[in-house]
Amino acid sequence: MAKITYTNKVTGDTVSAADMNEIKSSVNTNDDTAIALAATVAAKVDKVTGKQLSTEDYTTAEKTKLSALPLAADLATTLAAKADLVAGKVPAGQLPSYVDDVLEFANLAAFPATGESGKLYVTLDTNFTYRWATSVYVRVDSVDLTGYATTSSVNTGLAGKQATLQSGTNIKTINGTSLLGSGDLVISGGGSSREVANNSNLKNWLLKLATDPANAVLQNWGDSTSDFAGNAASFPGLVGEYIGTGQLLDGFDIDNMPNRGVSGLKLADFISGSGLTALVAEAPNIDLLVLSFGINDVRVNSATAEQISTMLLTVMDAATTANPNISILLRMPNNFLTVSPNGYIEQGSYPSLAAAAQAQSEILYSAYKAIEFARSNAVLMDTQEYIFGRTCKASSPLMNDEIHPNYNGIVELLVETIGYTEPFKIEYSNAAIAANFSQPWTVYNKALHDTSYYKELIKGKINFIGSTFLDVSCDPYTMQKIFPNDIISIGDKFFFNRAEANVLNDGVLRLSFDAGTLTGNTVTKGTVAIYRSLYNNTPLTQRYVKDTNNYPYRRYVSISTSGTYLYLGTQNEGLYPYLNALRVKGGDMVLQAGDILIPEGATAPIVLANSGGKLNDDVLYIDQGVDVSSANGKIGMLFGNHLYEV
């Protein structure tokens, strides 16, 4: 702002216009400056004596935090109530009492003489827990078992009880699977070497056959291939061959397989007519329903594979609705021959009769295979794969004419699919042999199947039973000399021995025995098997059989005598060694003092008094020094511990 310079004026003086303008300009300028200065001063703080102004900002938030901090005196009081840390840990004295309420000691004797209430004391040697009760330690983990059974009393009560329900005792199994419990039984083909898929679906039928075979009901529904009054007339008789003792349909009553086949019947007509209604009415009484339809539908070209599949499912579902426990076997129809002398096969639009037969057979195959796993209570019997083959032929020994089969193969496969036989159980055999070493079959009827103790010599079917003989049909190549102690089993249900055997003809073995031997036997059909004991089983023999350390070498021998001399044949017919270690490489068994000879029927062993020698490669001899004629002509078991190197 410029300074105004002018001469002092007194009252009455005059001011020139130039001076007035200068004054005006100066006032205006000073006014602006004053305003600006006032604004600058307003933005400043007053200076306080003793305090210094700073450029560091101090916020309200920071002031609030600072105000919340405790005073030093309050902080000291708070810290005084906290535990100290010693090497990173809180001293035990500053812990609350419940933290170490459980104290562990090596044993009860190591407890403090006086305990503390509110604490638990554990003995590490017994893992028992105690508490201090005024003047004594009292267990707190014990329970008052007064009136409860002790281990000893339970063992006493269970003594002699059967650990589990057992086959052959009070319940049967199905192919080794218990009938107890829940869930499905997994069952393979009844005794067949041919594996049949999904046979567990027949569990209800197999259960009936295993537990109540005489009342099991099997019905075949279908066309002429199921008609027992016509083309399937041989069917019941062939099935009857398998109902004997030990057979796959053991105990089944052939009268419980009524004729339900109708010659010429189409599946479509069966459903639309009265056939299905009749089946539904009978279904509640049927255990196994065998269905074999479709031949009459396809041979005249009136149905496709899909249509037959659908119709079969309709029949199956209707029967299952009427009887939820019914089992169903789909017996696939056979394929056709490529010629049709009886006019059963219609060629239709196919280029030839052979082409028609093949195509129609394929329709049947496809229809049944399409529903093989469609229902959980049904199984497919694939006759085309297993019996007839997939390719149609001009002739076949399995066929009676172009569409009708003979039934040998069909019945065999059917029985293998639906049959039941109780399996051998090694644990039962072991128990039976331990209980009755000489006749374990009296304890467990399948003990003879134990190959550790018995060898099966011959197996066949009953041909004829007389009062003093039994004729067995069997493979002539298995026929061999039968010894008096060999065991004859009829269907694992009747046992005898001491039979003489003779070949009646090329396929029949006649077993002769004393009158009355078969008293009590009611079996007229079934399987006959002849077994030989590997150990000449007697209670007397058992001792030496088990003593493999002192008597590791044993064999069957034939015995002949002359005064005090024993002659033991080692290579006679049928007396070949059965057991391991009877012969060893480079050596053979010889007789020495202390060896044991047990003739059949002996009540005491013959302990060899002297060493013996070889009469020849097949006969050992020894002078026993006493008369041994009582053993002449018998079979015996020789137990020894000596080898003679040659």
Residues 34 and 10: beta-carbon distance below 8 Å:
no
Percent of the chain with pLDDT over 70: 74
Per-position b or e across 53-88, b if 16+ CB within 10 A of its CB = eeeeeeeeeeeeeeeeeeeeeeeeeeeeeeeeeeee
Q: What is the pLDDT of residue 307?
A: 95
The answer to whether residues 328 and 417 touch, using CB atoms and an 8 Å cutoff, is no
17: DSSP letter:
H
Supply the pLDDT for residue 152: 63
pTM of the model: 0.47
pLDDT at 144 > cutoff 60: no
Higher pLDDT, 588 or 155: 155
Q: Which two tokens stand for residue 99?
A: 């933290």
More confident residue, 475 or 591: 591
Distance (Å, whole) CA 409 – CA 398:
8
Q: What percent of the chain has pLDDT over 90?
A: 29
Q: How far is CA 42 from the centre of its chain?
A: 101
Return the pLDDT at 513.
82
Residue from 310, 326, 297, 280 nearest 371 by CA: 310
Q: Which residue has the tokens 């840390």?
A: 85
- Residue 345 · residue 332 · CB < 8 Å: no
Q: How far is CA 114 from the centre of its chain?
A: 60
pLDDT of res. 312: 97
Spatial CB neighbours of 384, under 8 Å, sequence gap ≥ 6: 332, 334, 335, 361, 364, 365, 390
Rg, C-alpha atoms of the chain: 52
Element (H, E) at 531: strand 527-533
The predicted structure's pLDDT at residue 585 = 32
Q: What is the Cα–Cα distance from 216 to 287, expressed in whole angstroms? A: 6
pLDDT of 62 reads 78
- Domain 426-533 CATH assignment equals 2.60.40.10: no
Tell me which CATH code domain 185-418 carries.
3.40.50.1110
How large is the average pLDDT for residues 355-368? 96
Q: What is the pLDDT of residue 420?
A: 80
612 or 395, which is more confident? 395
Q: For 70-107, how does the pLDDT look when each residue is reduced to its tens digit (9 = 90+)?
A: 777 777 777 777 777 777 676 766 666 555 678 899 98
Residue 116 has pLDDT above 70, yes or no: yes
pLDDT digits (tens, 9 = 90+) for 366-412: 999 999 999 999 999 999 988 888 899 999 888 999 999 988 778 87
Mean pLDDT of the chain: 79
CA proximity to 522, closest of 445, 440, 462? 462
- Pick the residue with more confidence: 314 or 38? 314
- pLDDT tens by residue, 454-492: 888 888 878 788 888 888 887 655 655 676 668 888 877
Q: What is the pLDDT of residues 306-358, one digit of tens each?
A: 999 999 999 999 999 999 999 999 999 999 999 999 999 999 999 999 999 99
Higher pLDDT, residue 164 or 457 = 457
Q: Using 50, 70 and 90 to split pLDDT, how confident is the model at 242? A: confident
Please check the confidence at residue 111 and state whether its pLDDT lies above 80. Answer: yes
Lowest mean pLDDT among 37-51, 383-397, 591-605: 37-51
Query: For 167-208, what is each residue's pLDDT tens digit?
Result: 444 455 544 444 554 444 444 333 333 333 336 899 999 999
pLDDT digits (tens, 9 = 90+) for 491-509: 777 788 766 777 777 678 8
pLDDT given at position 592? 82
> How confident is residue 300, by pLDDT bands cut at 50, 70 and 90?
very high
Residue 162 has pLDDT above 60, yes or no: no
Run of H or E residues at 22: helix 17-42
Least confident of 37-51, 116-130, 218-232: 37-51
- Give residue 580's pLDDT band: very low, low, confident or very high (50, 70, 90): very low
Backbone angles phi, psi at 489, to 5 degrees: -115, 125
